[in-house]
A and B are shown apart, each in its own frame.
Chain A
Amino acid sequence: MTFDLPYGALLNALWQTLAMTFASGALGFIFGLPLGLILVATAADGIWPYPWLNRVLGAIVNAFRSLPFIILLVALIPLTRLIIGTSIGTAAAIVPLTVSAIPYFGRVAEVALREVDGNLIDAVRAMGGNRWTIVREVLVPEALPSLVAGFTVTLVLLIGASAMAGAVGAGGLGDLAIRYGYQRFETGVMIAVIVVLIALVSLIQAIGDRVARFFDHR
C-alpha cells in the first residue's frame, strides 16, 4: 500500500515551518534575553533598581502578550512591509512571530534569572565584581539550564503560531493542513501534517531537554 500524498508540498511546508520557527525563535532569544535581564535587574531588589522602568517595561510586555497572535499578525502588516518589503510569504511571517516571541521569551528568561540564588550575587560583589560581571558570570550561566528549557517551550509555541501565519500566505505545515486537509477534505494530508508536527515537537523537546541537562551541574 502506498500513500498518495503531495510529498513535495509537504517537504516544502516543513521547510517553511522550520524557517519561521527557528528564525523568529533565534531573534526572540537574542532580544528576549536582554529584556529578561533588564526586567530582573531593574526590579526593586535587583542589581540595577529602577522600579519605574521595570513597571513601564512590564506593562509593554503584558500588552504585547495579551494580543491574540492572529490580531498581531494583521496589526503588524505595515511594520512587516517596512522591514521585509512585503507582508506576504514566509519571510514576512517572521516579523510578527518575532514580535510575539520577544515578550514571551523575555518573561520566561525573567523567571529563570530570578531563580538564581541572591547569595551568589553577593559572593561575586564581595570579590569586587561589577554588574556586568554579575550578569556574565552569575545570572546567565547559573540560569542557563532553565533558559534552555524555556527556549524549548518558546520554540514549540512558535510552531503553533506559525500555522496561523498561513493566513498571510506564509505557507508552512498549518497552511498545508488547512488548504489540503480541511478545505479539500484530503484526510491523508491532514494526518500526515499532524504526524510531522508531532515528530517535530517531540524532537525539539528531546533536544531541548538534552541541552538543558548538559548545562546543568547543580
Chain B
Amino acid sequence: MAMNSLNPVALPMLRLTGVTKRFGTHAAVTDISLDINRGEILGIIGRSGAGKSTLIRCINGLEKPDSGRIEILDPDEQLQDIVPLGERALQKIRGRIGMVFQHFNLLSSKTVADNIALPLKIAGRARAERKARVAELLSLVGLEAKADTYPAQLSGGQKQRVGIARALAAQPALLLSDEATSALDPETTTSILGLLKDINRKLGVTILLITHEMAVIRSISDRVVVLDQGRIVEQGATDRVFADPQSDIAKRLLAAAQLGLETF
C-alpha cells in the first residue's frame, strides 16, 4: 500500500527507550524499553505498586522520567521524543492522547455532554463542531439519552462510558487506560472491555491499558507486558503468556485469576 511504500519499516505508535523514574530514593520504574504498535491493544499488568501508573503518567507527560526517551508518532509520521518538551508543547501532545481513569474523573459540575465536549473546548474547536461531535460520541457509547444528565446520576458503567467518550473526543491516535474497569463489577467490566475492543477495531485507535487483573488482559489485549518492581519481567503475545508463563509474577497473577474465575 501507499503508506507502506513510504514507510518500509513501520514505525510504532509509541516507543519507550530506557525509561527510568525515581521518587526520592524509590525507583518507580527502571529501564523500561517497549514498542507499542499502531492499532494494537497492549496490556501492562502488575500488582499495585509495580510502577504501572507511573509509567502511564510518563507517557502523557504528567510525570517527567529521570532518564530515557518516550517517542510518540506525530501527525507527520515521525517519532517525537516528548521527554525534553516543556509544559506548553506537552499540552499539545496530550491533546492527541486520550486517557481513561479508574475512578472516571468526570467533572461533577458539568453535564455528560459538557464533560465529553471539554477536550474539544481545550483544543479550541467551535461550538457547533463540538455539539456535532458530542452527539456522535454519545451514540458511540450508547448514552444518547443522558446528554443533559449530571455524572452523579449515572451508574459506574455509564460513568466509564462517558469517560471513554471524553477520551475519544479529540480523535486521539492513542488511548491510555489506567485500570479503567477496576472499580466496576464483572458484568460491567465485560461491557466496557467490549466497548474498548469495538473502538480499537472500528476507529483503529491504539490502546495501552494497565491493569492488575489477568482476566482483563485475556479478554482484550493482543500482547502483554508483565511489570514487577518497576521492571519488565516478561512480555509476549497474550496467548503465549497465558499458556506458558515464564516469570513468577505472571504465574502468580494467573493463579489468582483462575481462582477468581472459579468464584464467579
Chain A residues at the B interface, C-beta cutoff of 8 Å: 117, 119-120, 122-130, 133, 137-138, 141-142, 144, 215, 217-218
Contacts and interface: CB of A to CB of B under 8 A. Distances in A.
25 contacts: A119-B103, A120-B107, A122-B105, A123-B101, A123-B106, A123-B107, A124-B118, A125-B94, A127-B118, A127-B119, A127-B122, A127-B170, A128-B91, A128-B94, A128-B95, A130-B88, A133-B122, A137-B107, A137-B110, A138-B107, A141-B109, A141-B110, A217-B108, A217-B151, A218-B108
Nearest to A140: B109
A120 B105 contact: yes
Kindly state the interface size class of chain B when it binds its partner. 20 to 34
Contacts of A122: 62, 101, 105
A68 B118 CA distance: 45
Contact of B62 (A120, A126, A133, A144): A126
A125 B122 contact: no
Given A119-B101, A123-B99, A217-B150, A128 B122 contact: yes
Nearest to A129: B122
Nearest to A126: B99
Contact of B94 (A126, A137, A217, A218): A126
Nearest to A217: B150
B256 interface: no
A123 B122 contact: no
Contacts of B106: 123
Interface of B: 60, 62, 87-88, 91-95, 97, 99, 101, 103, 105-110, 118-119, 121-123, 150-152, 166, 170
Given A119-B103, A127-B122, 19 more contacts: A117-B105, A119-B105, A120-B105, A120-B107, A123-B101, A123-B105, A123-B106, A126-B60, A126-B99, A127-B94, A128-B91, A128-B94, A130-B88, A137-B107, A137-B110, A137-B121, A142-B108, A144-B109, A218-B108
Chain B at the A interface: SS class: mixed
A124 B152 CA distance: 18
Nearest to B114: A137
Specify which of A120, A124, A126, A141 lies most central, judged by the most chain B CB atoms within 10 Å of its CB: A126
A217 B152 contact: yes
A215 B93 CA distance: 33
Contact of A130 (B91, B99, B123, B151): B91
Nearest to A218: B108
Contacts of B166: 127
Among all A-B residue pairs, the 3 with the closest Cβ atoms: A128-B95, A123-B105, A141-B109
Nearest to A142: B109
A119 B104 CA distance: 9
Contacts of B107: 120, 123, 137-138, 141-142
Counting chain B CB atoms within 10 Å of each CB, which of A119, A127, A218 scores highest? A127
A131 to B, nearest CB: 9
Contacts of A137: 107, 110, 118, 121
Nearest to A136: B121
Nearest to B60: A126
